[in-house]
């Protein structure tokens, strides 16, 4: 259909349990209680290293270990301090050293229990430990359920920017339990909604409208644990996974159409890095989407009114629109040059043509924009 270029035409309608290449994705309230049996069936191993951050480990670690034990699986929990600031090569090295000291071998599986930071970091541990062992992703944030845990990207941050050291390593299994989102702080929930808005902008206008319509129910105080809200959340997760699965199926390693998933991320990553990760990822992406939509209109690639629709959705989600005032536009522009999306020293942006459709198909889904125009938008 017109305006849905990033989605594979033959992609099947995703159900709560679906396949993405070698991965299986389960989206089911209460799935955490049956995790052990699911892991045993999808990724048999001698031992399991459950990697989590200290916050998530305190909330869900005992429950996950109990489920694995009930399935007859031998597991050990390895926790590290929470936060993007700890998604580093040093933490990666510490975790691999702990696994080696504990006697984990090639017949091991890593279980990543947590949000995007945990999924990226534990996935990178799995991709590199003993030259690669299987990983099971168990996302506990909305952002991880709809984006970070899907598609096989793993990595760590460096002082030069986000996710600049990593590997593609598809999970054997992804288990998303929307009920765990009841424990998610409101800023983290909003952060995940930013990625849902992004999915609508890049591929599906109707999904974009459904996300915006659902915002009052999703963000109402005390609504997160209500059965109706959990069902709404499940539908949002399924819709986003469907969009991302269609893109990844066509381009696993980001050589073409997968680059559309970077909408909002070129400037967003620069802003997030410059904030020293005080901004949540979704907050930085929201700002990036607002700025990059305006960039698309000023560059003449987006329909008039696209920016207004994107900014309205971001505002309704309670997310920020503007870069922090203390951040220098020239410094942010310099940070984009070290991003993975830079080619031959030229920064290429994933820009919308309108809500539901992306520009730049003939250019491989990356649009080069003059630096002066970027600085105009940042200023």
Is residue 131 flagged as an active site residue? yes
Active site annotation includes 198:
no
Report helix, strand or coil for 104. coil
Which one from 258, 259, 341, 353 is the annotated catalytic residue? 258
Tally of CB atoms within 10 A around 96 = 17
Tell me if residue 87 is catalytic: no
Does 244 qualify as catalytic in the annotation?
Answer: yes
| Residue 285: partners with Cβ closer than 8 Å, 6 or more residues away | 194, 195, 198, 264, 265, 268, 272
Q: Does residue 281 have an active-site annotation? A: yes
Given 262, 292, 348, 354, which residue is catalytic?
Answer: 262
| Polymer length of the chain | 379
Query: DSSP assignment of 303-365, as one string?
Result: -TTHHHHHHHHHHHTT---S--TTS-HHHHHHHHHTSTTEETTEEEE--EEETTEES-GGGTS
Our answer to whether residue 46 is catalytic in this structure is no
| Residue in 4, 24, 244, 341 annotated catalytic | 244
**Under a CB-based contact definition with an 8 Å cutoff, are residues 318 and 286 in contact?**
no
Phi, psi of 131 (to 5 degrees): 65, 20
Could you confirm whether 162 is annotated as catalytic? Answer: no
| Given the residues 38, 281, 341, 354, the one annotated as active site | 281
Catalytic residue among 38, 87, 179, 265: 265
From the list 13, 131, 344, 362, the catalytic residue is: 131
163 catalytic per annotation: no
| List 195, 242, 272, 297, catalytic entry | 195
- The count of other CB atoms within 10 Å of the CB of residue 74 is 11
Active-site residue among 38, 169, 269, 309?
Answer: 269
Q: Scanning the structure block, which residue is given the tokens 């991320």?
A: 265
Q: Which residues touch 337 (CB under 8 Å, ≥6 apart)?
A: 345, 347
Residue 209 catalytic?
no
Considering 254, 283, 297, 348, which one is annotated as catalytic?
254
Structure tokens at 5: 């270029």
CB 280 within 8 A of CB 318: no
Residue 177 · residue 29 · CB < 8 Å: yes
Catalytic residue ranges: 131, 153, 195, 244, 254, 258, 262, 265, 269, 281
């Amino acid at each position: 259909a017109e305006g849905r270029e990033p989605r594979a035409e033959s992609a099947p309608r995703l159900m709560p349990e679906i396949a993405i290449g070698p991965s299986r994705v389960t989206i089911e309230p209460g799935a955490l209680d049956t995790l052990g049996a699911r892991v045993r069936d999808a990724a048999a191993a001698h031992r399991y290293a459950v990697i989590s951050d200290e916050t998530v480990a305190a909330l869900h670690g005992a429950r996950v270990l109990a489920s694995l034990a009930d399935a007859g699986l031998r597991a050990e929990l390895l926790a590290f301090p929470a936060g993007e600031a700890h998604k580093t090569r040093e933490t990666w090295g510490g975790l691999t050293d702990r696994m080696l000291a504990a006697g984990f071998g090639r017949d091991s599986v890593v279980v990543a229990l947590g949000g995007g930071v945990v999924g990226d970091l534990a996935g990178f541990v799995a991709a590199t430990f003993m030259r690669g062992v299987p990983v099971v992703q168990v996302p506990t944030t909305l952002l991880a359920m709809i984006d970070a845990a899907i598609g096989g990207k793993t990595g760590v941050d460096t002082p030069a920017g986000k996710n600049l050291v990593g590997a593609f390593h598809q999970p054997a299994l992804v288990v998303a339990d929307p009920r765990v989102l009841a424990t998610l702080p409101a800023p983290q929930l909003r952060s995940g909604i930013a990625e849902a808005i992004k999915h609508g902008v890049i591929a599906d206008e109707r999904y974009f409208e459904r996300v915006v319509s659902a915002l009052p129910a999703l963000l109402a105080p005390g609504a997160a644990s209500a059965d109706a809200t959990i069902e709404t959340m499940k539908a949002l997760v399924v819709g986003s996974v469907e969009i991302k699965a269609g893109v990844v199926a066509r381009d696993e390693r980001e050589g073409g159409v997968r680059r559309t998933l970077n909408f909002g991320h070129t400037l967003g990553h620069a802003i997030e890095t410059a904030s020293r990760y005080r901004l949540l990822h979704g907050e930085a992406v929201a700002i990036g989407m607002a700025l990059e939509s305006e960039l698309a209109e000023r560059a003449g690639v987006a329909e008039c009114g696209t920016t207004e629709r994107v900014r309205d959705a971001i505002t309704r989600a309670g997310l920020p629109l503007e870069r922090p005032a203390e951040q220098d536009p020239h410094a942010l522009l310099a940070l984009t040059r070290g991003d993975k999306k830079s080619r031959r020293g030229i920064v290429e942006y994933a820009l919308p043509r309108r809500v539901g459709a992306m520009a730049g198909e003939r250019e491989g889904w990356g649009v080069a924009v003059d630096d002066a125009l970027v600085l105009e938008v940042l200023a």
